[in-house]
Amino acid sequence: MRIGIGYDIHRFDGRRPLKVGGIRIPSARGLAGHSDADVLLHALADALFGAVGAPDLGEQFPSSQARWRNADSRRFIEAAMRRVRRGGWTVGNVDATVIADAPRLTGQKRRIVASISRLLGVATGCVSVKAKTTEGFAPGKAGMAAQAVVLLVPRGRTR
């Protein structure tokens, strides 16, 4: 088994739609970033890369390269999953937390879980997404953060 952990944080930006976990979330503000700034998929990609000992998201998809401007973060997950499969692994489970005071994600979690399970090729029961507020601490109303932990198991092994 291999375990990886990922973390990401972005400030709010009113110029783009908000994407979390590969889906568009109704909100007046999106997140600032070089790519689409999907804070949850960035944390998940780093967890996947970390579990296989690969360089982190910023090293593989640097913001200094124009080709990653406004990139769909699902591409990062697809790249991470190629590395996972190439190493003979598959995802056992994912546990993720989105940290934000707004917008509330409770009504969106089912859609986020379904999106992530499709991206990873696992059952929805293998993906947990929690949403927590900051109680006024960072990032508070200024942005969103996310953490993700992933367990990889050898391909072909039952979970």
Global pTM reads: 0.95
**pLDDT exceeds 80 at position 138:** no
CA distances to 13, 54, 56, 57, 133 from 60, in Å: 24, 9, 6, 5, 30
Domains of the chain: 2-154 (3.30.1330.50)
Q: For position 157, what pLDDT does the model report?
A: 66
Tokens of 33: 């970033």
Q: What pLDDT is attached to residue 14?
A: 76
Name the pLDDT band for 93 (thresholds 50, 70, 90): very high
